[in-house]
Structure formats: C-alpha cells, structure tokens
Amino acid sequence: MISIENLSVNYKSDSDVYTAISGINLTIPEGGTLAVIGPSGCGKSTLLKAIAGLIPEYEGTIKINGDEVNPKKQTIGFMPQNYGLLPWRTVIDNIRLGMKIKRAPELLDRKVLKKLMRQLGIEGLGHRYPTELSGGQQQRVALARVFALQPDVLLMDEPFSALDAITREEMQDIFLKLWQKNNVSTIFVTHYVEEALYLGQRIAILSASSGNINRIVDNPLFGGKDIRQNPEFFEMSLKLKNSIKKDWNQAWEN
Amino acid sequence: MGKLVSLWYLLAAVVLTIIWFIVSQLVDLPIIPSPVLVVENLADIFMKYIAIHSLYSLWRIGAGLLLAVAVGLPLGVIMGYFPQTDRFLAPVVYLTYPIPKIALLPILMLLFGVGELSKVFMIFLIIVFQVVVAVRDGIRAIPNETYYPLYSLGASFKDIFFEVLWPASLPKFITAIRVALATAISVLFFTETFGTQYGMGYFIMDAWLRVNYLEMYSGIVVLSLLGLILFTTIDLIERNACHWQYK
Ligand SMILES: Nc1ncnc2c1ncn2[C@@H]1O[C@H](COP(=O)(O)OP(=O)(O)OP(=O)(O)O)[C@@H](O)[C@H]1O
Ligand SMILES: [Mg+2]
C-alpha cells in the first residue's frame, strides 16, 4: 500500500525555485496498479522519483506500507525512463544488481532467476551486454531486474514508450502476467491512454500547469479478458482522450 | 590479445629494423651502426650491464605511477561525484596543470635531493593531473538515470563506487595513463642523466660520453622495448577490465 498526502516538490537552483508538483494526494491499495498520465513536463517523473526516495527534499508525506519512504528499509523497484541498465554489466549481473545491493542472497536462487528470464524470453541473453540488445530486450531485462527483487512497490517511468506498437502490446501482456503472479503495488507513468486503460486499475490524470492531480478515474475494464478487442475499451479510451484534451486545452488557455 | 595483433607488432619491428639497416649501410659511419651488430652486442651485455639499469627505470616509473593513481583516483572521484568540491579544487588543478612539470625539477631536487625521491616524484607529477581530470570527467559524464535504480535500493557509497563510478571512469582513466606515460618516460630519461649511476637514461648518456655507439644503441633498443612492454601491459589490462567496450 502506498499513500501520498499533500506532496509537493520544489526544484531549487541558485537563482530561483520551481514548483514541479504540489498538493498531490494518492493512495494505491496493496497489490493495485495506478497509471499516471499527463502532458510532457507536468511532473510525472518528479512524482515517481519522490516516491522512489530519489528526491530528499519534499513536502507532505509518502508512506509505503505505513512507513515513511526510505530506500534503505523498503524494497523499491524503480525503472527509469531509459531502463537504467548498467552498460558495463552483463544481463545476468544487471538482473542480480538489486539483490547485491539489498544484500539479499536468498533471492539469488538460480532456478527462480532462470524461470523469470524464461518467462521474459531472455534466457539465452545472460552473458550479453546491454548494448548488444534490442530496445525490447533491454526492456525485458529491466523488468526481470525489478521483479527478481520482489519489491514492496514497483515504479515504472514510461516503461513501454520506446517500443513499437506491436512489441509494446506484447510487453504489456508480459507485464500483466508477472504482475498477477507477484501482486506488487505498482505506479507507472504513460502517455498512451490505451496503456493506462489496459494496465491501470485506476488512472490519475495530472493537470497541465498547476502540478497537481486533475482527477482520478476508476477503470472498470481492468483485468477483463482480451479487453483490447472489446468495443467498450475503444469507446472508453476515446472518451478519456477527449476529456483529457479538453482539460489540457483549458489549462493552456488560462 | 589476438594472434593477429602480435603479428602486426612483429611486422612493425621488422620494417623499422630494415629501414635502420638500410640507413646504416648508406651512411656508413660509426654513429649509425648496423642493427645486426647492435643486437649481437645487446645479447652480450644485456644481463651483464643493462638489466640492472632497466630495472631501476622500471621501478621509478612503477612507483611514480602507483603514487599518481593512489592520489589522483580518489581526488578525481571526489571532484566528479561531489560538484561542490569541484568548485574549490578545479581552480587549483587548472592553475597547476599547465605548468611544464620539468620546470619544477630544480625545486624538486632542492626539496627531495637529486636521488630517487625527486625522480619518482617527477613522474608522479606528470601522471597525476591527467588521472584527476580524466576520472573527474568520466564520472561527470554519467547520466543521472544510471544512479536511480541504485539509489532507490538504498545503495551505499561503496556500492555506487564499485557498480558505477569505477567502471564508468575506468576507460578514461586507462587512456590518461597511456598518454601520460609517454611523457613520463621521456622526462625520466632526462632526470636519469644526473644524480644517479643507474637507469636507462644514465646508461645511454654514459655510453655516448664514452663514444661507445654500440652500447648506446643497445640502450635505446632496450628503452623502446621497455615502453612496448608497458604499453602492451596497459592494453591487456584494458581489454580485461573493460571488455564491455570491445563488444
Ligand atoms: N533536476 C531538476 N531541476 C530543475 N527543474 C527540473 C528538474 N527536473 C525536472 N525539472 C522540471 O520539473 C518539471 C517536471 O519535470 P518531469 O521530468 O517530472 O516531467 P514529466 O512529466 O516526467 O515530463 P515528460 O513526459 O517529458 O517525461 C519540468 O518543467 C522540468 O523542467
Ligand atoms: Mg518524465
């Protein structure tokens, strides 16, 4: 469970202070998923970084399972916008990195890792370096890395944005399967309404200018079978798109 | 290193020797002896006279290099990773970096005497600046995203150092040493011409003063082989430590 109350983040430079997000309230129930959607520069990455404990100075509270966020105490699986794989480590070492840092050798079970890599279709790539992988393969490695840790929360910043449409849908399915097995509370950022509808139990729409949440939509379609083929899915994504456009256009006009 | 690479080294050595041979035949003066005679002479006197000198030179280079790494690496890491320290240290480095280190030799000799210490310290001075700047720039070039997954797991500075800072700066660090080493060897040669009875610099200049050209050339060949050994060692280390770069 993640609960965020009145969260604000200011970026301070030598000359001025910039408020990236302000007054954010959110809760994600244990084992739930939340999609965060919003225009470029509205503070999506900032929100995620704050939850990941990467921004030491913020106002408000961020609690994970009841405790203030602390990377040393909780296990936070964070996947940055460009996957954050280490170019000087092989695929297998990249996957093991989290356990090494968490000093959690009990997670280093070869069989479990192997199974995870097989599920992700990267079992033959263990000894390659990230530069020798396609974008989709790097993505899979990054997923393996966070899931191998069995994190308390999973935070993903535009996880599938760099992939082509078909690979993206494939990866979304892979993610859903892993998520169902592991049931980890997840927040992910996206700028595709379809992705938000497919993977998010709830969808938080950030506003374009003020750095807070415009509204939160419950997603009745989440978890259904083959919902992408469903006419309701199509209808809902259209409706959502139009209302987001309206919100954001209004914001620009003000 | 592959067989092919060794083959190229062999070819280069053969070509250089042939050019040398032709020049020696054309000039036909004792100042350019034939390589055949030099090699014969080298085989005769290497163990007897030259080995000890090459060991002295090697030890001075090794000690200077080690000292430079021991000081330059931590300094570069600190300056690269903590921007606040760079603000104070960068001016110091930039003010002292461009001074030709050889110009400091008189001061070094007054401070440390004409013996070993000033020679080692000279090499240290030549290498250390390159190491500091290379490591710092290598670390500065790391994008923030690289750190995020580690920070979000609560990584300690030790983790950050071994997982990110060290591997990211290693290639630049090794290149810096390669570049600085060439200068260091030529300056070492110069410093070995006084204040000592040992070292390749002393051996070559001494042979020259005795007008023993064969010995002088033997010394030059050994010096160049010494350089070759040092550079190929660095290449080997780089290939082993940075193999992700060779994919
Ligand atoms: N380190 C920083 N220092 C100062 N300002 C920053 C910093 N990081 C981000 N910002 C500013 O904060 C705002 C929000 O940035 P953020 O990266 O969170 O946007 P985003 O919603 O993730 O955008 P995108 O969709 O393009 O990734 C932007 O206006 C950005 O310029
Ligand atoms: Mg972003």
Confidence of residue B20 (pLDDT cuts 50, 70, 90): very high
Name the token pair of A55. Answer: 């921004």
Total domains present in chain A: 2
Name the token pair of B214. Answer: 């064969």
What are the residue ranges in chain A where pLDDT is below 70?
A: 107-108, 251-252, 254
The whole-number pLDDT of residue A64 equals 93
Q: What is the mean pLDDT of residues B41-58?
A: 92
State residue A215 phi and psi, 5-degree precision: -165, 165
Token pair 């994190």: residue? A151
**Least distant ligand from the CA of A18:** 1
Is the same domain home to A157 and A52? yes
Q: Which residues of A touch B159 (CB under 8 A)?
A: 100-101
Q: For B179-197, give one letter per residue: b (16+ CB within 10 A) or e.
A: ebbeebbebbbebbeeebe
Task: Name the residue in chain A with its Cα closest to that of B160.
Answer: A101
Q: Which of A95, A129, A150 represents a domain boundary (last residue)?
A: A150
C-alpha distance from residue A68 to each of A2, A3, A51, A60, A153 (Å): 10, 10, 10, 10, 13
Report yes or no: B66 at the A interface, CB cutoff 8 Å: no
Q: Of all protein residues, whose CA lies closest to atom 29 belonging to ligand 1?
A: A41
C-alpha distance from residue B182 to each of B101, B178, B192, B198, B231 (Å): 14, 7, 16, 20, 9
Is the same domain home to A22 and A125? no
Q: Which of A192, A188, A213, A214 is nearest to A201 (CA)?
A: A188
Is the same domain home to A113 and A187? no
List the single best residue of A13, A101, A125 to mutate versus B (max B Cβ within 10 A): A101
Q: What is the mean pLDDT of residues B87-95?
A: 90
Distance A21 CA to ligand 1 centre (A): 9
What are the contacts of A62-65 at 24+ separation with CB within 8 A? Answer: A62/A2, A62/A3, A62/A4, A62/A7, A63/A2, A63/A3, A63/A4, A63/A5, A64/A1, A64/A2, A64/A152, A64/A153, A65/A1, A65/A30, A65/A152
pLDDT reading at B38 higher than 70: yes
Is the same domain home to A49 and A156? yes
Is the same domain home to A16 and A54? yes
Contacts of A123 (CB under 8 A, 6+ apart): A114, A117
Is the same domain home to A161 and A229? yes
Is the CB of B152 less than 8 angstroms away from the CB of A88? no
Confidence of residue B3 (pLDDT cuts 50, 70, 90): low
Task: Name the residue in chain B with its Cα closest to that of A99.
Answer: B153
Task: Name the residue in chain B with its Cα closest to that of A91.
Answer: B244
Interface of A with B (CB under 8 A): 49, 52-54, 70-73, 75-82, 84, 86-89, 97-98, 100-102, 128-129, 131-132, 145, 149, 155
Q: State how far the Cα of A151 lies from the Cα of A171, in Å rounded to an integer.
A: 20
pLDDT reading at B86 higher than 80: yes
Is the CB of B153 less than 8 angstroms away from the CB of A102? yes
What's the CATH number where A222 sits? 3.40.50.300
The whole-number pLDDT of residue B169 equals 92
Atom of ligand 1 lying closest to residue A38 CA: 21
Is the CB of A84 less than 8 angstroms away from the CB of B168? no
Of B56 and A254, the structure prediction assigns the larger pLDDT to B56
| CA max distance for chain B | 73
The whole-number pLDDT of residue B2 equals 60
Mean pLDDT of chain B: 91
The whole-number pLDDT of residue A6 equals 93
Q: State how far the Cα of B70 lies from the Cα of B75, in Å rounded to an integer.
A: 9
Distance A19 CA to ligand 1 centre (A): 10
Over residues B162-195, the pLDDT tens digits come to: 999 999 999 999 999 999 999 899 999 999 998 8
Is the same domain home to A202 and A126? no
Residue A101: which of B146, B153, B242 has the nearest Cβ? B153
Q: Which of A237, A144, A165, A245 is nearest to A197 (CA)?
A: A237
Q: Can you tell me whether residue A164 is helix, strand or coil? A: coil
Is the same domain home to A28 and A135? no
pLDDT reading at B240 higher than 60: yes
C-alpha distance from residue B64 to each of A29, B57, B125 (Å): 61, 11, 8
Q: Which of B16, B1, B51, B8 is nearest to B234 (CA)?
A: B1
Q: Which of A110, A128, A150 represents a domain boundary (last residue)?
A: A150
Is the CB of B152 less than 8 angstroms away from the CB of A132? no
Q: Which of A49, A26, A45 is nearest to A37 (CA)?
A: A45
Is the same domain home to A141 and A156? no
Domain carrying residue A117: 83-150
The whole-number pLDDT of residue A208 equals 80
Is the CB of B152 less than 8 angstroms away from the CB of A71? yes
Radius of gyration of chain B (CA): 22
Task: Name the residue in chain B with its Cα closest to that of A93.
Answer: B163
The whole-number pLDDT of residue A254 equals 64
Q: Of all protein residues, whose CA lies closest to atom 28 belonging to ligand 1?
A: A41
Ranking A164-173, B65-74, B156-165 by mean pLDDT, the lowest is: A164-173
Is the CB of B153 less than 8 angstroms away from the CB of A129? no
Report yes or no: B152 at the A interface, CB cutoff 8 Å: yes
Q: Which of A133, A150, A167 represents a domain boundary (last residue)?
A: A150
Is the same domain home to A100 and A125? yes
Report yes or no: B114 at the A interface, CB cutoff 8 Å: no
The whole-number pLDDT of residue A107 equals 67
Nearest chain B Cα distance for residue A56, angstroms: 11
Confidence of residue B242 (pLDDT cuts 50, 70, 90): confident
In degrees, rounded to 5, the angle at the alpha carbon of residue B70 between the alpha carbons of residues B69 and B73 is 60
Is the same domain home to A46 and A25? yes
User: Rounded to two decimals, what is the model's pTM?
Assistant: 0.86
Half-sphere exposure of A53 (CA within 13 A, CB side): 24
pLDDT reading at B1 higher than 60: no
The whole-number pLDDT of residue B247 equals 66
A40 lines ligand 1 (CB under 6 A): yes
Q: Which residues of B touch A102 (CB under 8 A)?
A: 153-154
Count of other CB atoms within 10 angstroms of residue A137: 18
Radius of gyration of chain A (CA): 18
Is the same domain home to A176 and A242? yes
Report yes or no: B84 at the A interface, CB cutoff 8 Å: no
Name the token pair of B52. Answer: 């000890």
Q: Which residues of B touch A82 (CB under 8 A)?
A: 143, 145
